[in-house]
Amino acid sequence: AWTRSAEADLDIGMGSLRLEIPEGIGVRIETEGSFLSSVDVDRHFDRVDDDVYESANYGDADVRLDVRIKLGMGSVDVRATRR
């Protein structure tokens, strides 16, 4: 179980990433990509700005994960999972 907040910076030049995040953690995802990249997030995340997504509980969560993703050519798939 996650007990404290964390930050992650991911830099993907070319390729794909599937990011599985345990439900219950407050998550904010900021993405920066090109016209050759795509980001797909599931229904657990709301788009709050052009390239920013948050879980519904982000504002109230005791434990948060802030993820910054820089994507050149490829895709990112973000899913909330039960663990």
CB-based contact 73:34 (threshold 8 Å): yes
- Cross-strand bridge partners of residue 45: 55
Rounded Cα–Cα distance for residues 7 and 36 (Å): 26
CB-based contact 67:19 (threshold 8 Å): yes
Nearest to 54 by CA among 82, 25, 16: 25
pTM over 0.75: yes
Task: Give the per-residue pLDDT at 24.
Answer: 83
| 2-52: pLDDT as tens digits | 789 999 999 999 999 999 988 889 999 999 988 889 999 999 999 999 999
Burial 38-47 (b: 16+ CB within 10 A, else e): ebebeebbee
